[in-house]
Amino acid sequence: MINKLLVEALKPLKVPVSFQKYKGKENTYITFFNYLEQGEQYADNEEKATGYYIQVDVWSKNDYTELVEKVKNYMEAAGFIRTSAADLFEDDTKIYHKIIRFFYLG
Section 63-92 average pLDDT: 96
The verdict on pTM exceeding 0.85 is: yes
Give the chain's domain count.
1
pLDDT for position 25: 94
Query: For residue 54, which of 34, 68, 71 has the smallest C-alpha distance?
Result: 34
CA distance 96 to 39: 34
pLDDT in tens, 93-105: 899 999 999 999 9
pLDDT for position 75: 98
pLDDT in tens, 17-55: 999 999 999 999 999 999 999 999 999 999 999 999 999
CATH of the domain at 87: 3.30.2000.30
Section 60-84 average pLDDT: 97
Domain that holds residue 49: 2-105
